[in-house]
Structure 1
Amino acid sequence: MKVAIIGAGWAGCAAAVEATRLGHHVTIFEASRTAGGRARRVMSSVAGQPLVLDNGQHILIGAYAETLRLMQDLGVDESAAFLRLPLTMQFPDGSGLKLPNWPSPLDAFAGILTAHGWTWADKISLLRVALGWRLGGFSCPPGQSVSDLCRGLAPNAMASLIEPLCVSALNTPAERACGQVFLRVMRDALFAQSGGSNLLLPRLDLSALLPDAALAWLAAQGGSVGLGVRVQAIAPVASGWELRADTCNTFDRVVLACPPHEAARLVQSSGAAAHDWLAQARSLQHEALSTVYLHAPHARLRQPMLALRSSAAEPAQFVFDRHQLGGPDGLLAFVISASTGNSATLTQQVQQQAARQLGLTGLQPVQTVVEKRATFACTPNLQRPDSRIAPGLLACGDYIAGPYPATLEGAVRSGLAAARQLQ
């Protein structure tokens, strides 16, 4: 069949590769000139030199099985693409959690018992809570938040581990985040497989990690890639679906791999009887994700990634030393999940946070990227739209119904699933 995929983010790229493997002829339409969607490269400069950054500093983990498998199939060398480390959630003073390189779940239990700066009350409370999750099959009532799950947990363990993990994985604060989804992430990362909790810190820009390789593979298989082409409308016709972009083309099937608001626009314009799907897509609330890039000659961290104490005045939760990941000397990336505020305010706050928590003064702004609709708010009882919209019309993306939050793994899994539903 002739299949149109609208969007060349991670979900769209996964869908395109899988649909091609299944024998379909695929055409991708992407409004941007850079593939990757909400996980893509951006161009900047430092000290007068061109610089490749990301629109948001991302972390992958070892449990992202489908993403890693797809990258391998496309010829991406994991060792060149990532720095793989055991899960480390340590702060500048050395306190926090660092897992040993042991089989799961021994690594998690050993990491908790040896956490620096934690009292025995902190450690025992976390072990008790984690054991309760495991005995309960990593499930909870659908209305529970992450904060509800952690009642009885010592405040230091909550602030030093659970809250940073929650906001980084779900991009939603613990008091508003869905307990069910959080438990699924914890199960897969910490208890399901050895190496699942490993941090995979990108050495390459986000577009180079998967989207570029996917589009090159697709072109080699005879597929078509249209970057910088925005689809204006779609409409059902007798032979399938008509797409109106630079020209009008007819396809047997269409996969919407664009953000939910753009997918809803196209579904609404098509006249398809998809009222429930539209209502669910439009009801999603969104969370912002901001990355503040700062630079100073010879600025260093003692390890590639550190956790930070976060507050309203000091909003960053993590900082990355990009030099240790193959980037230029002195470049640091500060990540603010579930961020609020404008770029100028966030930049100033992070500069002050770096001075107080890291002892780094003189850091100069390079670029602050604020993705206002980076993810959906992963809240309890959230009804996410299904992949099937209308006959011959599907959707994929990290917001589509599934067990994962808005992560790269969630996007890839959704894209693969949509391609396998083409009939």
Structure 2
Amino acid sequence: MDGALSTRQIAVIGGGWAGLASAVAASQRGAKVSLFEMAGQLGGRARSLPGDALTPGLDNGQHILIGAYTHSLKLMAALGVDIDQAFLRTPLRLRYPRHEGLQLPPGPPLLSFARGVWAHPSWPAKARLQLLLAASTWLARGFSADARLSVSTLCTGLPKCVRQDLIEPLCVAALNTPAAQASAQVFLRVLRDALFSGAGSADLLVPRQGLSTLMATPAMKHLSAQGVHIHLGTRVQTLAAEDSAWRVNEHRFDQVILACSSSEAARLTQVLAPGWSAMAQNLQFEPIVTVYIRSPGSALPAPMVALQEGPDAPAQFVFDLGQLGTHPGLFAWVISGASAWVARGLDETANRTLAQAQQEFDWASPPEVARVLAEKRATFACTPGLQRPPMRIAPGLLAAGDYVAGPYPATLEGAVRAGQAAASALG
């Protein structure tokens, strides 16, 4: 604690990962923090849900981290999370139902990537060479691209097998936006940090515990011990400037961090900062649907398996929760960039996913749909040329969230970094 904010009353509005990161950082600086969360639990879009007699407690979606997400990992460790126990950490491996995809061996990033691509078992030599040449070009350009460029346009010259087996699944996993509509500029930034920023940066970290145990529960314990006032089930109805301070509902604060959703932030700032509010309100969103399928006694060839999506095959990834040590015989089928499937209806989506499961794998017992979860505003659509609202809204009023202007798409790492940046900007 540096005591720099020891006389400051700070309100953090929103208890997702951005809000928790803000509250932890502000309290460490000595501020007197109050946290407002309109839901009955912390965690935002990365939390665990209560179960019932038939379905165990599940997460509201599958989230994975990569080794490059250092801010998130350091924050969890500081909150007492044992990272080695909480995550299954493996080098990047895209395993498909009937073949191996790209695998990166240990070693220095550039060498590891080159070796992994050249050893790819399913691509012809010409395709491997074309990918290495393209990656070399991106590296020479500092992994920058015209802000108007889409991922599909960026990768037009790559062979179809490379686009289908690597570019498209990585794009939809990282940006939750189909390659044809996704920002090449943001995608290249993720590739740079993941594949070329240091040893282990591309490692996959798949949770072996419920999402709430990774952040919400330890953060609540930590914040409570620091004297932070946590108001659950409390929606902020009014935010108003008052002299050189702020009024949040009936409470007075020196400064405020808006770490709620972009739509809530837009509502609260509509009069205070109409230009900022309009920018936040104009963001478009992509849903993520998770179809949980149960098949007792079954197992996949790997804890996480990549899939080829298609007109009748919704999912891009499936996770074997039994191999992750949580729910044996339960499998999470993830559909990112799911606007078209949400439009077709969740029942249709579940039925098509079940048919995809039956086609892709052999099962020890007949698979059946256990539960369908849809996060309809999971992330902003990360499209070319997107103007994201800035962190600073007005004097003493800051925004924190994965949608705030920054180099990352809507990821847990983006949320944590935004939260910490807002807390650092308090003065």
**What TM-score do the two structures reach when normalised by structure 2?**
0.95
How many residue pairs align between the two structures? 415
SS state at 2:422 partner: helix
CA–CA separation in structure 2 for the residues paired with 1:279 and 1:249: 26
CA–CA separation in structure 1 for the residues paired with 2:409 and 2:163: 20
* 1:188 pairs with one of 185, 189, 193: 193
**Equivalent residues in 2 for 1:357-396 (5 A)?**
357-360=360-363, 362-396=366-400
In the other structure, the counterpart of 1:421 is 425
Deviation at 1:49, TM superposition (A): 5.1
Cα deviations across residues 368-395 of structure 1 (Å, max 9, x unaligned)? 1111100000011111000111121111
Deviation at 1:22, TM superposition (A): 1.0
* 1:70 pairs with one of 69, 72, 75: 75
CA–CA separation in structure 1 for the residues paired with 2:314 and 2:121: 23
In the other structure, the counterpart of 1:133 is 138
Deviation at 1:238, TM superposition (A): 2.1
* 1:3 pairs with one of 1, 4, 10: 10
In the other structure, the counterpart of 2:21 is 14
Once superposed, what is the RMSD of the aligned Cα atoms? 1.2
Structure-2 change in CA distance of 1:90 and 1:50 (3 Å): closer
Letter of the 1:344 partner, please give it. D
In the other structure, the counterpart of 2:5 is none
SS state at 1:242 partner: strand
CA–CA separation in structure 2 for the residues paired with 1:106 and 1:41: 38
**Equivalent residues in 2 for 1:296-311 (5 A)?**
296-311=295-310
SS state at 1:93 partner: coil
In the other structure, the counterpart of 1:24 is 31
CA–CA separation in structure 1 for the residues paired with 2:424 and 2:402: 16
CA–CA separation in structure 2 for the residues paired with 1:299 and 1:121: 38
SS state at 2:336 partner: strand
1:230 paired with 2:232, answer no
Contact 1:5 1:12 in 2 (8 A): yes
SS state at 1:52 partner: coil
1:353 paired with 2:356, answer yes
CA–CA separation in structure 2 for the residues paired with 1:389 and 1:335: 35
In the other structure, the counterpart of 2:265 is 263
Q: Quick check: 284-293 or 111-120, which moved more?
A: 111-120
CA–CA separation in structure 2 for the residues paired with 1:90 and 1:154: 19
Deviation at 1:102, TM superposition (A): 2.2
Deviation at 1:85, TM superposition (A): 0.5
SS state at 1:174 partner: coil
Deviation at 1:33, TM superposition (A): 1.3
SS state at 2:63 partner: coil
**What TM-score do the two structures reach when normalised by structure 1?**
0.96
In the other structure, the counterpart of 1:249 is 251
CA–CA separation in structure 2 for the residues paired with 1:164 and 1:213: 32
CA–CA separation in structure 1 for the residues paired with 2:278 and 2:145: 26
1:107 paired with 2:109, answer no
SS state at 1:394 partner: strand
CA–CA separation in structure 2 for the residues paired with 1:366 and 1:44: 11
CA–CA separation in structure 2 for the residues paired with 1:183 and 1:302: 30
CA–CA separation in structure 1 for the residues paired with 2:127 and 2:50: 44
Which has more strand, going by share of residues?
Answer: 1
Q: Quick check: 274-283 or 74-83, which moved more?
A: 274-283
**Equivalent residues in 2 for 1:71-86 (5 A)?**
71-86=76-91
Cα deviations across residues 47-94 of structure 1 (Å, max 9, x unaligned)? x35612111101100000111111111111101110001101120112
SS state at 1:303 partner: coil
SS state at 1:323 partner: coil
CA–CA separation in structure 2 for the residues paired with 1:81 and 1:125: 38
- Mind listing any 5+ residue stretches in structure 1 that lack a counterpart? none
Deviation at 1:103, TM superposition (A): 2.4
CA–CA separation in structure 2 for the residues paired with 1:366 and 1:102: 41
Contact 2:95 2:302 in 1 (8 A): no
Deviation at 1:101, TM superposition (A): 2.1
SS state at 1:261 partner: helix
Cα deviations across residues 229-270 of structure 1 (Å, max 9, x unaligned)? 1111111112511112xxx111111111111011111112xx
**Equivalent residues in 2 for 1:81-96 (5 A)?**
81-96=86-101
Letter of the 2:409 partner, please give it. P
In the other structure, the counterpart of 2:314 is 315
CA–CA separation in structure 1 for the residues paired with 2:141 and 2:224: 47
Letter of the 2:391 partner, please give it. S
SS state at 2:323 partner: helix
CA–CA separation in structure 2 for the residues paired with 1:145 and 1:34: 37
Contact 1:177 1:380 in 2 (8 A): yes
- Mind listing any 5+ residue stretches in structure 2 that lack a counterpart? 1-7
Deviation at 1:116, TM superposition (A): 2.0
Cα deviations across residues 193-236 of structure 1 (Å, max 9, x unaligned)? 11000000001111211122112111101111111111111111
Q: Quick check: 34-43 or 190-199, which moved more?
A: 34-43
In the other structure, the counterpart of 2:153 is 148
Deviation at 1:275, TM superposition (A): 2.4
CA–CA separation in structure 1 for the residues paired with 2:349 and 2:16: 27
In the other structure, the counterpart of 2:347 is 344
Contact 1:43 1:50 in 2 (8 A): no
Contact 1:170 1:378 in 2 (8 A): yes
CA–CA separation in structure 1 for the residues paired with 2:41 and 2:103: 36
In the other structure, the counterpart of 1:119 is 124
1:164 paired with 2:169, answer yes
In the other structure, the counterpart of 1:42 is 49
In the other structure, the counterpart of 1:398 is 402
In the other structure, the counterpart of 1:282 is 281
Cα deviations across residues 279-307 of structure 1 (Å, max 9, x unaligned)? 21111110001111110111210110000
Runs of 4 or more above 3 Å deviation: none
Deviation at 1:147, TM superposition (A): 1.1
